[in-house]
Amino acid sequence: FLEEIKQLGIPVVLVDSYIEDQYFHRVNINDRYGGYLAAKYLIDKGHRRIAFVAEKLREQGVLHERFLGYRDALAEAGITFAEQWVYEADVSYQGGFEAAEEIVRRGNGETAAFAAADIIAVGLINGLKAQHVAVPEELSVIGFDDVPLAVMSFPELTTVHQDVWEKGRQAARIVIEAGEGGKKRDVTLPLKIVERESVQDIKQA
């Protein structure tokens, strides 16, 4: 498919793609670094048993990159990763809700969970409450994306912020410039933690 696009000779911008090809422009975030930021934030709050909740991982996918960043932060802190901390969930509210049931069922003793997308995180929070697990008092939750739903959650969701509007703006600008003979562009947008109410500092407990 991509080879067919290249033969058309038109400028193409890939967004959220890790495909390495000199033909395509790209607008990305550093998903691996974002995953690292999320896990390190939890570790800095005293958490050492941290669940990772995402759909089935595939190589070169954004969620896989976030998982690698999570692993990086654990390793940096001297925490041995355990496979049983990984929970598969559809990227949906229902996926997060069902993951909460699985976390309670397994009883691995995690004190925090990194949901690889906010929609999963919000479902997770409500699923935990349905299982009578208090957030963040009994289990902290951090998300990724900072979508509007994050502030509608109760408690409001601590998350990794990415600017999706800026992604679109940059992609449009690159297409325009490429049509005018511009050079190939790779743009990586910044990330930051937005601290709200869903993570407890257990070092202070």
* Residue 146: inside a domain: yes
The pLDDT of residue 59 is above 80: no
pTM of the complete model:
0.91
Cβ count within 10 A of residue 160:
27
Supply the Cα-derived Rg of the chain in whole angstroms: 18
Q: Is the pLDDT of residue 1 over 80?
A: no
Please, what sign has the CA dihedral across residues 44, 104, 31, 148? negative
Selection from 55, 62, 57 nearest residue 14 by Cα: 62
Does a structural domain hold residue 1?
no
203 falls within a domain? no
Q: Do the domain assignments include residue 201?
A: no
User: Does 39 have pLDDT greater than 80?
Assistant: yes
Whether pLDDT at 116 is above 70: yes
pLDDT at residue 61, rounded to an integer: 87
Is there a domain that residue 106 lies in?
yes
Indicate whether 131 pLDDT > 90: yes
Instruction: Determine what percent of the chain falls in helix, strand and coil, rounding each to the nearest 5.
Output: 40, 20, 40
Domain membership of residue 204 (yes or no) is no
Q: What is the mean pLDDT of the chain?
A: 93
DSSP state of 144: E
> Distance (Å, rounded) from C-alpha 45 to C-alpha 202?
6
What's the mean pLDDT in 5-24? 79
What is the per-residue pLDDT across 140-197, written as a single tens digit (0 to 9) for each?
999 999 999 999 999 999 999 999 999 999 999 988 888 766 677 889 999 999 999 9
The parent domain of residue 57 ranges over 8-194
Here the CATH number for the domain that contains residue 149 is 3.40.50.2300
Indicate the number of domains in the chain.
1
